Structure formats: structure tokens, C-alpha cells
């Protein structure tokens, strides 16, 4: 069979491999390929092929007839120099697709079937639509709890698994959806100051205005090599790093790249995704935070309880000590929304400044207290007091400073965006409701998390009285067009509900 000359095409197609063939390429014609066919690209020595989706090129300036172009991701995967001879053929459908069809038909899959699926996904044998089919077939009530367990186990098995060599490795995770909820940056130094091992890695924001990694990046480097990360954790008992290049449960990352654009967030996938990552990261004890509120991810106490039980069942069967705490998700936590503003809140609390946001401090102490009680030497109910002592005494601040120094302090100090606009109360009354989604939307329009200083700074919270014309919050931005979009969105819908009288809803 004819070979083609490999050529890197400088196009970033994210997590989807794309191959390019000229329409008059003899291989294209004889194989009966179509645009969007899946093809296999083989090295001539015939090791594992790279799978890619085909785009057909009509322009000789882009690609010659005897060339095979590959997008940046696919080229990196094949890992051969430009000009190498390669062959292409129709990709065989992944063997595990049969199991996906059975799942679509409502059947229950076995551990081995989930293993087959994760194996093929890791090998890039699934197209995005095949992954979408798998995810939807598992969505909502589509997975038995044993299947969630199988999927979690299969996802852990497809990646590396860290071993810290200690019996107690703690972590915490919030299922997300609440702006400003930056508790990890307080919990980690408190817990580490107590001496517990808490190697915290976090993601960057994808749909929210800031993730822990984005916020920590305001203060320190977060993209650490695995070696440096390990060294810091051994010395400081903690880190606050970006987890993106650790190759832990890589199938989870691939599935998330399809879940996010679909806004799919089914309980089974959520539990499997979170627990697979934590187990792969070597955690032995885990605290899960489930905020509940009318505009949170989980909107009712009964849904939160169902989710809690699914976490517990799966964690128990995988040997993970797991506690779930259901928290108030009716409004943003803290004052700042956006990396710089959230980092400011965190540092105010660590510095015990009197004007630090009390709600974020209190929530962090509650969660840290529960984690401290994973320590067999801590008496039940005493965690909170210990956490507060560590914070009040400045030991948490000292630990945070040590972590920042170890990771590499950010030499410049980013400041809140200089374009500022207060958003005013349209009427007098009591603040009775928040729209978390709208607050996050405004902060993202303002530029968060890409522009670190952009976001929203809240001046009042649920239950407070405001007078018409008083500022509810201030929008910060760094660029004029972002600033305008955010101000327009806030003018249309502030995200606050103010009522003359009546109870707080939610």
C-alpha cells in the first residue's frame, strides 16, 4: 500500500486528532474515504496506530497530493519527523463500541466492559460523537451504582497512580458551581500546618470565572514538574498546584472535553470523575463539599443526599475514606469573584484582617476541621477549634508563605482591573436571592479568568438591607470591550434579588 509523506499542520484541534489529505491524493481516492471518516495512521514498522478524523484539502498550497497532514496534537502523538513515510487506512471501530450500544439499549455493563471502553478512549480510538454517545447513555439514571464503581476503577487503571508512602493522604473537593468559593487555599495551609499530608492539585477554570489553580497563580507558580511537586510536598506537607500534566486518570480529562460543551453533569460521571482523579493522586481520605441552592449545581436537599450516598458507596468500595458535607450554596462565598479578587480574600483571612470576608473564613474552618478529624489523634468535634487556632495564631499564614516560596512567588503583584464600575441597587429593600450563574457570567464577561484582575467584587450579601442607588458590587476589567459587555450584562440582570420585605428564599 502506498505511503504518504508526513507533514505537521500548525492547527490546534484541542483533544480531537485531525488528519488532512488532498482530495486528489491517490490513497484518498482508492480507499473511498470521506471527510469526517476516521482513519488510522501507521508508522511503516506498524506499531500502535494513531487515530484521527479526516478533513479533505482542496488547496495545493496547504498540502501536496503525496502528503498526509496532521494537526498539532496528532503529530505529537505519532512522534515522527516531518517527511516520514506513513500509511493510512480506515479505522476499525473500537471493539468496546459494542458495549456502548448495549448501554444505549439500557443494559448494565460489567467491569471488563468499562475497562474496554476506557482502554479504547485512552488510545484515542473514540471520536467525539462516540464519546458523546457513551456519556449520554450513562447520564441521569443510566448507571447502576455498581457501574459507577466499575467506571471509576477502570479510569484509575488507565493512568498513573501516585503513592506517597504514608497512611494518611488527605484531600478535599467541591463539586463546584459557587462563585468565589476558594476554600482550598485556606484549608491546605491549615491542614498542612497541623502536619497532615495534603498534596492539592486543581484544575483551571473552564466554565467558571476562576479555579483554584487560576487563583493560586496570582501568588505563585502553579505549573510544576512532577519532580518539583513531589519535593515541595515532602518538605511542606502540601502544595497548591495545577494538576493538568500529571497523567492521572487521563480518560477523565478526555471525557470532560466532551461533557463540558454538552453541559452534561450526570451524578454517575461526576462521582467517577472526581474519585478516579483523587484515587490516582494517592489520596486516602477525602472531604467532598456539595453546595445546595436554587442556582447551585445541586438544587435540592434530596438530590444532595442521593449524590452523597453514591459518593459514599463508590468511595467505600475503592478503599477511600470519604466524608461528604452539604453546604449553603444560595450565594457566592467571600467577596471577590475572579483570580486577583479571590486571592485578596484568601490573604485577608490568612492575615486575620478584621474586614476579611467572614463567610469564606467560617466555611474554610468548618471544612478544615472535618479534615483534621481524619487524624486519629484528633478527638471528634475538636477539628474546628484546632483549625481556628492554626488560623488565628498565624501558623496557616506562615505555611501559605512557605508554599508560595517553594512553588516560586509571582514577582509582580497583579492588582484588580483598573476599569471599575459599581452596579447599584435599583430599589431599597432586603437582599433575598442571588443568581450564582449570572454572577459567574458577568465576571467571565469582564475577562476572568484570562485577565487575572477582572471580575466582580461584592459589597453586600443575602439578608442585608440596601437603599436604592447603593452599590451592590463593583465590576473590574482590564480591557474596554470586556468591560462594556460585563456592564451591559449587569445592567440587564444584576444577579441580585431585592425585595421590600419577606424572607430569604432558597
d(CA 390, CA 418): 35
- Segment near its own copies (CB under 8 A); pick from 59-67, 158-166, 243-251, 304-312: 59-67
Report the residue from 6, 74, 78, 97 that binds its own copies according to the rule CB under 8 A.
97
d(CA 342, CA 241): 16
Q: Which of 66, 146, 265, 435 is catalytic?
A: 265
148, 310 contact by CB (below 8 A): yes
Is residue 83 a contact point for its own copies (CB under 8 A)? no
The residue assigned the cell 480510538 is 125
Is residue 132 a contact point for its own copies (CB under 8 A)? yes
Is residue 141 a contact point for its own copies (CB under 8 A)? yes
Cα dihedral: 11, 16, 22, 27 (round 10): 150
Is residue 128 a contact point for its own copies (CB under 8 A)? yes
**Interface mask (CB under 8 A) for its own copies, residues 468-487, using x and -?**
-----------x-xx-----
Nearest residue (CB) to its own copies, 36 versus 358 = 36
Report the residue from 81, 167, 263, 502 that binds its own copies according to the rule CB under 8 A.
263
d(CA 156, CA 161): 7
d(CA 240, CA 201): 6
Sheet hosting strand 321-328, strand order edge to edge: 170-174, 285-292, 321-328
CB of 437 to its own copies, least distance (A): 13
226, 163 contact by CB (below 8 A): no
d(CA 156, CA 40): 27
**Interface mask (CB under 8 A) for its own copies, residues 433-472, using x and -?**
-----------x--x--x----------------------
Is residue 113 a contact point for its own copies (CB under 8 A)? no
Task: Confirm whether 265 is a catalytic residue.
Answer: yes
35, 54 contact by CB (below 8 A): yes
Dihedral sign computed on CA atoms, order 427, 429, 430, 433: negative
Nearest residue (CB) to its own copies, 112 versus 140 = 140
Is residue 280 a contact point for its own copies (CB under 8 A)? no
Q: Are strands 336-337 and 321-328 parallel, antiparallel or unpaired?
A: unpaired
- Catalytic residue IDs: 265
Q: Could you list the residues that contact its own copies (CB under 8 A)?
A: 1-2, 9-16, 18, 20, 23, 29-30, 32, 34-36, 38, 55-59, 61-62, 71-72, 93, 97, 101, 104-106, 127-133, 135-137, 139-141, 257-258, 261-264, 444, 447, 450, 479, 481-482
Amino acid at each position: 500500500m502506498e505511503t504518504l509523506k508526513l507533514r505537521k499542520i500548525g492547527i490546534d484541534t484541542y483533544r480531537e486528532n485531525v488528519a488532512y489529505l488532498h482530495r486528489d491524493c491517490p490513497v484518498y481516492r482508492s480507499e473511498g474515504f470521506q471527510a469526517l471518516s476516521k482513519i488510522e495512521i501507521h508508522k511503516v514498522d506498524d506499531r500502535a496506530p494513531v487515530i484521527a478524523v479526516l478533513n479533505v484539502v482542496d488547496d495545493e498550497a496547504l498540502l501536496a497530493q503525496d502528503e498526509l497532514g496532521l494537526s498539532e496534537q496528532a503529530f505529537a502523538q505519532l512522534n515522527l519527523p516531518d517527511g516520514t513515510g506513513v500509511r493510512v487506512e480506515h479505522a476499525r471501530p473500537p471493539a468496546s463500541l459494542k458495549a456502548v450500544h448495549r448501554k444505549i439499549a439500557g443494559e448494565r455493563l460489567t467491569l471488563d466492559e468499562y475497562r474496554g471502553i476506557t482502554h479504547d478512549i485512552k488510545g484515542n480510538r473514540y471520536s467525539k460523537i462516540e464519546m458523546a454517545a457513551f456519556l449520554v447513555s450513562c447520564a441521569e439514571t443510566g448507571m447502576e451504582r455498581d457501574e459507577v464503581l466499575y467506571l471509576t476503577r477502570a479510569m484509575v487503571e488507565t493512568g498513573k497512580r501516585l503513592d506517597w508512602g504514608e497512611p494518611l493522604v488527605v484531600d478535599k473537593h467541591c463539586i463546584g458551581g459557587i462563585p468565589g468559593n476558594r476554600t482550598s487555599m485556606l484549608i491546605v495551609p491549615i491542614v498542612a500546618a497541623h502536619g497532615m499530608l495534603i498534596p492539592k492539585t486543581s484544575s483551571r477554570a473552564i466554565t467558571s470565572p476562576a479555579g483554584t489553580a487560576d487563583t493560586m497563580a496570582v501568588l505563585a507558580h502553579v505549573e510544576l514538574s512532577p519532580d518539583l511537586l513531589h519535593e515541595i510536598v515532602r518538605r511542606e506537607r502540601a502544595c497548591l498546584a495545577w494538576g493538568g500534566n500529571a497523567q492521572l486518570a487521563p480518560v477523565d480529562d478526555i471525557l470532560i472535553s466532551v461533557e463540558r460543551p454538552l453541559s452534561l453533569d450526570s451524578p454517575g460521571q461526576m462521582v467517577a470523575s472526581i474519585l478516579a482523579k483523587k484515587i490516582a493522586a494517592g489520596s486516602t481520605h477525602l472531604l467532598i463539599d456539595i453546595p445546595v441552592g436554587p442556582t447551585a449545581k445541586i438544587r435540592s436537599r434530596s438530590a444532595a443526599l442521593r449524590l452523597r450516598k453514591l459518593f459514599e458507596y463508590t468511595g467505600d468500595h475503592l478503599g477511600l475514606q470519604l466524608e461528604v458535607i452539604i453546604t449553603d450554596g444560595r450565594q457566592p462565598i467571600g467577596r471577590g469573584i475572579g483570580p486577583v479578587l479571590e486571592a485578596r480574600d484568601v490573604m485577608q483571612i490568612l492575615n486575620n484582617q478584621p474586614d476579611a470576608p467572614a463567610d469564606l473564613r467560617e466555611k474554610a474552618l468548618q471544612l478544615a476541621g472535618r479534615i483534621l478529624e481524619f487524624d486519629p489523634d484528633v478527638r471528634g468535634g475538636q477539628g474546628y477549634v484546632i483549625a481556628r487556632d492554626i488560623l488565628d495564631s498565624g501558623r496557616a499564614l506562615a505555611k501559605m508563605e512557605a508554599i508560595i516560596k517553594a512553588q516560586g512567588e509571582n514577582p509582580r503583584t497583579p492588582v484588580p482591573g483598573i476599569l471599575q464600575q459599581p452596579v447599584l441597587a435599583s430599589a431599597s429593600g432586603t437582599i433575598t436571592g442571588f443568581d450564582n450563574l449570572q454572577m459567574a457570567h458577568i465576571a467571565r464577561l469582564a475577562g476572568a479568568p484570562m485577565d487575572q484582575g477582572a471580575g466582580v467584587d461584592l459589597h453586600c450579601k443575602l439578608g442585608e438591607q440596601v437603599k436604592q442607588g447603593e452599590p451592590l458590587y463593583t465590576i473590574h476589567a482590564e480591557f474596554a470591550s470586556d468591560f462594556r459587555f460585563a456592564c451591559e450584562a449587569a445592567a440587564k440582570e444584576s444577579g441580585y434579588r431585592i425585595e421590600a420585605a419577606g424572607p430569604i428564599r432558597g
